[in-house]
Amino acid sequence: MSTEVSTSPTSLIGQTVVPGDVVLDLSNMTNQTIKLGSGLRQDNDAISAMRAGKFRFSKPNKYWVESSHKRYIPRPEDTVLGIVVDSKSDNFWVDIKGPQLALLPVLAFEGGTRRNIPKFEVGTLLYVRVVKTNTGMNPEVSCTDASGKAAGFGPLKDGFMFETSTGLSRMLLSSPTCPVLEALGKKLSFETAFGLNGRVWVHAASPRVVIIVANALMNSETLSGTQQRIMVEKLLEKISE
Amino acid sequence: MEYVNPEGLRLDGRRFNEMRQIVAEVGVVSKADGSAVFEMGNTKVIAAVYGPREIQNKSLQKKNDHALVLCEYSMAQFSTGDRRRQKFDRRSTELSLVIRQTMEACILTELLPHSQIDIFLQVLQADGGTRSACINAATLALADAGIPMRDLAVSCSAGYLNSTPLLDLNYVEDSAGGADVTVGILPKLDKVTLLQMDAKLPMETFETVFALASEGCKAIAERIREVLQENTKQLEYRRAA
Amino acid sequence: MEGRVANMWRLTVNESKFVETALQSELRVDGRGLYDYRKLTIKFGKEYGSSEVQLGQTHVMGFVTAQLVQPYKDRPNEGSLSIFTEFSPMADPSFEPGRPGESAVELGRIIDRGLRESRAVDTESLCVLAGKMVWSVRIDLHILDNGGNLVDAANIAALAALMTFRRPDCTVGGENGQEVIIHPPEEREPLPLIIHHLPIAFTFGFFNKGNIVVMDPTYVEEAVMCGRMTVTVNANGDICAIQKPGEEGVSQTVILHCMRLASSRAAATTKIIREEVEAYNRERSLQKVKRHPTLAKSEVSGPTVAVKEEHRKSSDQEKAAEISREHVERLDLCSEEPRSNKEEEVTASPTNFKGGPSKWDPYSEAMDVDSLKASLASRGDSVTKSSSKKTTNGSENAEKDAEMSVEEVTGDLGKKDTIEATKQKDGEMTLKDAVKPKKKRKNKNN
């Protein structure tokens, strides 16, 4: 398998591509199955990019374009932060920064029955999982994991929420832990939730820590790992003075 | 031009701290839920309040759990010496906004969720101080309509001409180019909600003019109280009879 | 209706609660102190009378134009000054296209009152032929990005544009002495407007039933706050306009406190505007002299860029250090011993006024060539544009620095040479200047 991959036009992997770039030619990649991720489009034998970003490949056969946006296109199994917009008898309408509002069924909670429907006022921040994203329908989200357990999903109390880009939230979620979080976590204690839709929630005992962490995270988007560490170090040094 | 003569009298014979004659009456528009006419010298304003009633245009609603207050200020074509050109100019738009927000501060909007209160204000005769007269008329009309209020919002203006602070400017004094301070207060809470000023004034002078206008507001509040008390008595008397 | 709901910007309960609780311990979400201003940047365009002001994320463009018109009947020998605002949905989805909304009208009126009623611009000198021809000056204010506190930013944009505006010189002549001859700029030096003083607007936000006051509220703070007041003051401590349009009542002492704060700030902001305008004027007059081929740069990139470049460091290490330093500076403000050192800094180096250095926006500031490569094409047009500008700045860094020093030297020479010219063009106007052109005209009429 891997040998075949090397013969295909992989030179573009890791490179930046712009919409319209043909990234793969299927005619010389016969008898192999590939999986296309976001930002790629098939046009007969040519696979071309639809979005500008970095062309990525993951073994054995996944290709996608990595980019950072302010808008979020919902995908099943993504965890996102949503804001309650309206509540109806069957669903909560939740804003997940996507093209449509998402629906959160009132029963999509751990042990949810008609009798214990939670009450959310407009503006409540929820940590939810995207379940369905069928075209022509509003995406559906849920406050349980796949096995019906709460697993940390649900409303987020207090703390501060800010909006960044999808790229930054992906970076913060990546493993191993993002350097900025690691460095901050050594000195400060705080709680965070990152949604793949670019929303970040930070909570700590004192508002001061929340503000420090929030601003450090926002500033870290364009910094490399070392830069992040240095930035946090200097920051913490200044605070402890 | 001399606006205050050596004896300390103004063009219309008032003293610097003397207000024009106030005539006020409630219940003048039979169709409206509450209405009032307010006269200050030659300035005459009519106010009509409709509501609380069902919200007509949902898209205007910003806060879910508060009443929606709408206000329309207009000057009659015949209210000034020369005929006015358009009905909704920039000045009227701004005044509508300012009066609406002043009235919002005194209405207990949280007690009337999902409802709308309309305030219509029409200037019948303009001789300076129309915005103050409008606020006073609106307060009376709201009280007449029985809408729950924190306090009576009252307003009064003061100016500064010939190095003398003057209370309640008329049109000639207003257009003289001196400073003009309009103050709106909640007298019992002793809070300032509306404050508008133009032209140039040094800090200390401003403070004296501001204080004079606030005193004027309190005097008007007294007068408005009397009118409302009189009205209530009348109602009681009629019921008894 | 659903469509509208989906496109609205929403505030979470968490945000509004946090903003309020943080303010109770005198902290603001972007790390500023209660009375700190965001970073102010003023840029000028290639043409006379255009300015671009950036206050944190808020971005406003001002443009001044003039036209000869018939005067108003009640003021036959005065020119006019009018302000138009453009709130396009581009800057904020809550702005609706079409007729200016309430907030657009209010913003225009606040600035209008501050400038006109306080007679900041000498309108009498705009008269060409009494009762027949006067200059009508129009200020257009375009909101390009709404990051909160549009009034202050728009006000500064209007002032900066007015100060750099030049109208063509014109004389009355012809057979009957009633014809107006407009001299093209090649023939006669265009004239600046006469500005007596600079009324500067400061907006305050009230929180917690009017007990907490902040200066220069951001977008999020504007959504949370319960009241707002704009105080327009000039550097002499005169109050030129106030606008507190209803909303939550506050006590008199709070209002007077805000006014004192505003007048203490006015001098510093006036200085920034004057310095930027002077630097721009200097650059323009140098361009006109054309003593050096390298100086004939057509790009008037504005002095602010140059200042920034001096600070710019290329290596990764230093850049990160800088960001963290600025970050800390911000946080420093919210620590126990707040603004004392801050104010020193302001007086020491007013050009990079850090009344709250908000490097809030990571894209426009913290972008360099490396990071550009790393996350190329990440978000749309605007960033690509700004970052590409940065790229050129970075590569030409050394070159430009050298140029700058040359400019500085020749700048002094040029100043001496064209001392007459600069005197007229400088932002500093005296009443004498206001009288001069009138006299000239009278003589000609005679």
Task: Note the ipTM here.
Answer: 0.89
Question: How close, in Å, is residue C426 to chain A by CA atoms?
Answer: 39
Contact indicator for C85, C108 with CB cutoff of 8 Å: yes
pLDDT band at C292 (very low <50, low <70, confident <90, very high): low
Return the structure tokens found at C109: 């009126």
Kindly list the distances between the CA atom of residue C37 and the CA atoms of A215, C95, C185, C346, in Å, as whole numbers in the listed order.
Answer: 17, 25, 39, 11
Residues in chain C: 446
Regarding predicted confidence, which is higher, C322 or C358?
C322
Return the structure tokens found at C417: 């040479």
Contact indicator for C48, C190 with CB cutoff of 8 Å: yes
Residues 6+ apart with CB under 8 A from A105: A90, A91, A140, A142
Q: In B, what residues contact C, Cβ < 8 A?
A: 58-59, 90-91, 93-94, 96-105, 181, 184-186, 189-203, 206-207, 210, 214
Return the structure tokens found at C170: 């014109």
Spatial distance between the Cα atoms of A27 and A44, rounded to a whole number of angstroms: 9
**C380-383: which pairs have CB atoms within 8 A and are 24 or more residues apart?**
none
pLDDT at A105 over 90: yes
pLDDT band at C319 (very low <50, low <70, confident <90, very high): low
Where chain B has pLDDT below 70, the residues are 83-88
pLDDT band at A122 (very low <50, low <70, confident <90, very high): confident
Supply the mean pLDDT for chain C.
73
Supply the mean pLDDT for chain A.
87
What is the mean pLDDT of the segment spanning C128-133?
86
Least confident of A35-49, A130-144, C39-53, C387-401: C387-401
**pLDDT of the residue at B70:** 93
Indicate yes or no: CB of C316 within 8 angstroms of CB of A121: no
DSSP secondary structure letter of residue B90:
H
Continuous segment of H or E residues that includes residue B125? strand B116-125
Question: How close, in Å, is residue A113 to chain C by CA atoms?
Answer: 26
Least confident of C179-183, C243-247, C400-404: C400-404
Instruction: Write out chain C residues lying below 8 Å of B198, CB-based.
Output: 113-114, 117-118, 240-241
pLDDT at C326 over 80: no
Burial class (CB in 10 A: 0-12, 13-18, 19+), C101: middle
Kindly list the distances between the CA atom of residue A109 and the CA atoms of A114, A133, A141, C120, C186, in Å, as whole numbers in the listed order.
Answer: 11, 19, 11, 63, 76
pLDDT at C399 over 70: no
**pLDDT of the residue at C45:** 87
Indicate yes or no: CB of C249 within 8 angstroms of CB of B96: no
pLDDT at C395 over 90: no
Neighbouring CB atoms inside 10 A of A226's CB total 12
- Please name the residues between 4 and 23 in chain C that touch chain A, using a CB distance below 8 Å: 5-6, 10-18, 21-22
Spatial distance between the Cα atoms of A158 and A205, rounded to a whole number of angstroms: 10
Contact indicator for C19, C221 with CB cutoff of 8 Å: yes
Which residue blocks in C172-315 are alpha helix, DSSP H? 219-224, 252-289, 303-311
Regarding predicted confidence, which is higher, C10 or B10?
B10
Contact indicator for A115, A109 with CB cutoff of 8 Å: no
pLDDT at C155 over 90: yes
Residues 6+ apart with CB under 8 A from C379: A68, A69, A70, A165, C363
> How are beta strands B34-40 and B43-53 bridged, if at all?
antiparallel
**pLDDT of the residue at B97:** 92
Return the structure tokens found at C187: 């023939």
Regarding predicted confidence, which is higher, C323 or C389?
C323
DSSP secondary structure letter of residue C250:
B
Share of chain C above pLDDT 90, in %: 31
> How are beta strands A91-95 and B191-198 bridged, if at all?
unpaired
Q: Which of A166, A145, A165, A163 is nearest to A154 (CA)?
A: A145
Spatial distance between the Cα atoms of C330 and C339, rounded to a whole number of angstroms: 11
**pLDDT of the residue at B88:** 66
Question: By three-state DSSP, how is residue B227 classified?
Answer: helix
Instruction: Write out chain C residues lying below 8 Å of A95, CB-based.
Output: 6, 10
Give C426-438 pLDDT, tens digit per residue: 444 444 444 444 4
What is the mean pLDDT of the segment spanning A149-157?
89
> How are beta strands B43-53 and B68-75 bridged, if at all?
unpaired
Instruction: Write out chain C residues lying below 8 Å of A226, CB-based.
Output: 316, 320
> What are the strands, taking DSSP E only, across C286-388?
none
**pLDDT of the residue at C216:** 93
Domains identified in chain C and CATH numbers: 2-266 (3.30.230.70)
Domains identified in chain A and CATH numbers: 2-66 (2.40.50.100), 79-155 (2.40.50.140), 160-240 (3.30.1370.10)
Contact indicator for B34, B121 with CB cutoff of 8 Å: no
Give C22-57 pLDDT, tens digit per residue: 999 888 988 888 899 999 999 998 888 899 999 999
Rg (CA), chain B: 18
Which residue blocks in chain B are alpha helix, DSSP H? 90-106, 130-145, 171-174, 203-240
pLDDT at C368 over 70: no
Indicate yes or no: CB of C249 within 8 angstroms of CB of B93: no
Spatial distance between the Cα atoms of B71 and B61, rounded to a whole number of angstroms: 14
> How are beta strands A40-43 and A46-49 bridged, if at all?
antiparallel
Contact indicator for C171, C99 with CB cutoff of 8 Å: no
Spatial distance between the Cα atoms of A65 and A77, rounded to a whole number of angstroms: 19
Which residue blocks in C128-251 are alpha helix, DSSP H? 150-164, 219-224
**pLDDT of the residue at A241:** 65
pLDDT band at C389 (very low <50, low <70, confident <90, very high): very low
> How are beta strands B116-125 and B43-53 bridged, if at all?
antiparallel
User: Cis peptide before A176, with omega less than 30 degrees from 0?
Assistant: yes
Contact indicator for C404, C398 with CB cutoff of 8 Å: no
**pLDDT of the residue at C363:** 43
**pLDDT of the residue at A57:** 87
Indicate yes or no: CB of B193 within 8 angstroms of CB of C247: yes
Sheet holding A35-36, edge to edge: A16-17, A53-58, A62-66, A35-36
Kindly list the distances between the CA atom of residue C80 and the CA atoms of C75, C109, C118, C121, C200, in Å, as whole numbers in the listed order.
Answer: 9, 15, 14, 10, 20
Neighbouring CB atoms inside 10 A of C393's CB total 18
Least confident of A75-84, B36-45, C116-125: C116-125
C250 shares contact with chain B (CB less than 8 Å) = yes
C327 shares contact with chain A (CB less than 8 Å) = yes
Kindly list the distances between the CA atom of residue C329 and the CA atoms of A7, A189, B134, in Å, as whole numbers in the listed order.
Answer: 54, 22, 48
Return the structure tokens found at B104: 């919002």
Residue of C nearest to B71 (CA): C102
Please report, for chain B, the start and end positions of each structural domain, with discontinuous segments joined by +: 22-240
Spatial distance between the Cα atoms of A198 and A81, rounded to a whole number of angstroms: 8
Q: Which of C265, C271, C161, C158 is nearest to C204 (CA)?
A: C265
pLDDT at A76 over 80: yes
For A195, half-sphere exposure in the C-beta direction (CA atoms, 13 angstrom radius) is 33
- Determine the longest span between alpha carbons in chain A, in angstroms: 64
Contact indicator for B189, B221 with CB cutoff of 8 Å: no
Least confident of A102-116, B129-143, C156-170, C400-414: C400-414
Spatial distance between the Cα atoms of C80 and C71, rounded to a whole number of angstroms: 8
**pLDDT of the residue at A151:** 85
Give C248-266 pLDDT, tens digit per residue: 889 999 999 999 999 999 9
Candidate from A54, A165, A224 with C-beta closest to C379: A165
For C338: left if phi > 0, alpha if psi spans -120 to 50, otherwise beta; the answer is: alpha
Regarding predicted confidence, which is higher, C108 or A32?
C108
Candidate from A52, A157, A235 with C-beta closest to C377: A52
Spatial distance between the Cα atoms of A119 and A106, rounded to a whole number of angstroms: 9
Contact indicator for C105, B90 with CB cutoff of 8 Å: yes
What is the mean pLDDT of the segment spanning C325-344?
45
Continuous segment of H or E residues that includes residue C434? helix C431-445
Question: How close, in Å, is residue A69 to chain C by CA atoms?
Answer: 6
For tokens 């005193």, name the residue: B215
C63 forms bridges with which residues in the sheet? C50, C140
Instruction: Write out chain A residues lying below 8 Å of C145, CB-based.
Output: none
Indicate yes or no: CB of C5 within 8 angstroms of CB of A93: yes
pLDDT band at C324 (very low <50, low <70, confident <90, very high): low
C229 shares contact with chain B (CB less than 8 Å) = yes
**CATH tag, B22-240:** 3.30.230.70
What is the mean pLDDT of the segment spanning A176-194?
89
Give A156-182 pLDDT, tens digit per residue: 989 999 999 998 998 898 888 888 898
Q: Which of B17, B3, B12 is nearest to B211 (CA)?
A: B17
